[in-house]
């Protein structure tokens, strides 16, 4: 490495050190980044262990990756670089420093991607943001569920996130598009990195409850684990009674809930199911496009 390159690398590392001083250091102890994909489906003929409830289960505390994507894409009009908040300046400097470190690492190794020359784009994925499409394996699973007469796919999500051993990872919300209630006085939850510091915030919608609602959390100790908490809640009308009481069953919701937690393996399609709901999860380690990847990786097997 020549002298100028060494100085640039040192500067990038110093930026990272300054950005993360006083909190867990990403630069000194980087957490592996994974692409996470989730598909949820129902068994239309399944025997649900349904339970009645007068109100939907509240998952308003779980950030939604779709809301994070809207927040990340929002660009205020007529806003100069001087008007950026301190949080935004720190985030921009962090992203630039990480990109520089990854690029310098690839230059030091003198290796190009095995799949072809790198043609541009981010060298580090922004976590917690909903991706526009599933990967090939999960997209194929979604199509097969659509063609099946025994299954009905209802929702999917894909995003990047860091997962490090012993560190707490947040729950992320997974819903379908069937709203069963809206709270106009409560905003939808966002991951901390996307919480607005200025008003107005036109990209932030009011909190809503959904027919399929809940969340998923990935964590790692000795092995990687997936925690799933999803509920199917169908609105029902009150049922009249022929007896003295005017109503035998008040209006509310019929609910079916799946709560499971077990170890999973990266690079493999994992299946969770109950009598009414099924969940497919696939987690894959993210690799920098600037560095040639080995043909096999024993750590992900």
Q: What is the predicted pLDDT for the residue at 224?
A: 93
Q: What pLDDT was estimated at residue 240?
A: 56
> What average pLDDT does the segment 272-280 reach?
93
d(CA 226, CA 231): 16
Domain ranges, ordered by start, for the chain = 29-81+125-287
Q: pLDDT value at position 94?
A: 73
Residue 301: CA count within 13 A, CB half-sphere: 4
Which of 13-17, 87-91, 103-107, 186-190 bottoms out in mean pLDDT, i.e. has the lowest? 13-17
For residues 290 and 287, what is the distance between their CA atoms, to the nearest angstrom?
9
Confidence band of 25 (pLDDT split at 50, 70, 90): very low
Question: Which one is predicted more confidently, 1 or 198?
Answer: 198
Q: Who has greater pLDDT, 135 or 248? A: 135
Q: Look at 17-21, 108-112, 282-286 and tell me which has the smallest mean pLDDT.
A: 17-21
The sign one gets for the Cα dihedral 25, 26, 32, 37 is positive
Tokens describing residue 150: 């025994």
Low-confidence winner among 18-27, 128-137, 224-233, 266-275 (lowest mean pLDDT) = 18-27
Dihedral sign from CA coordinates of 247, 250, 251, 256: negative
For 51-103, what is each residue's pLDDT tens digit?
A: 888 889 999 999 999 999 999 888 766 555 555 666 677 777 777 676 666 66
pLDDT value of residue 84? 62
Q: Round the average pLDDT of the chain to a whole number and report it.
A: 78
The pLDDT value recorded for residue 90 is: 74
- For residue 41, pLDDT over 60 is answered with yes
User: CB–CB of 124/105 below 8 Å?
Assistant: no
Residue recorded with tokens 């997974």: 174
- Report the percent of the chain where pLDDT is more than 90: 45
């Amino acid at each position: 490495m020549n002298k100028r390159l060494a100085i640039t690398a040192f500067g990038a590392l110093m930026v990272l050190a300054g950005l993360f001083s006083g909190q867990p250091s990403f630069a000194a102890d980087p957490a592996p980044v994974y692409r996470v994909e989730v598909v949820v489906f129902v068994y239309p003929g399944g025997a649900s262990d349904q339970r009645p409830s007068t109100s939907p289960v509240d998952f308003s505390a779980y950030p939604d990756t779709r809301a994070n994507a809207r927040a990340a894409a929002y660009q205020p009009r007529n806003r100069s670089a001087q008007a950026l908040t301190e949080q935004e300046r720190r985030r921009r400097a962090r992203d630039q420093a990480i990109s520089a470190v990854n690029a310098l690492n690839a230059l030091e190794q003198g290796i190009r991607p095995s799949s072809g020359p790198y043609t541009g784009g981010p060298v580090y994925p922004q976590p917690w943001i909903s991706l526009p499409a599933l990967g090939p394996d999960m997209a194929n699973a979604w199509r097969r569920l659509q063609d099946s007469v025994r299954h009905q796919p209802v929702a999917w999500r894909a995003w990047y996130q860091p997962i490090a051993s012993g560190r707490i990872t947040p729950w992320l919300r997974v819903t379908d598009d069937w709203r069963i209630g809206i709270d106009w006085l409560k905003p939808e939850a966002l991951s901390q990195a996307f919480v607005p510091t200025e008003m107005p915030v036109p990209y932030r919608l009011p909190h809503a409850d959904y027919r399929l609602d809940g969340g998923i959390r990935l964590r790692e100790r000795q092995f990687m684990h997936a925690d799933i908490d999803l509920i199917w809640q169908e609105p029902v009308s009150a049922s009249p009674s022929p007896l003295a009481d005017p109503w035998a069953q008040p209006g509310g919701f019929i609910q079916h809930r799946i709560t499971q937690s077990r170890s999973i393996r990266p690079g493999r399609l994992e299946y969770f199911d109950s009598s009414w709901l099924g969940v497919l999860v696939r987690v894959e380690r993210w690799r920098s496009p600037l560095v040639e990847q080995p043909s096999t990786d024993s750590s992900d097997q």
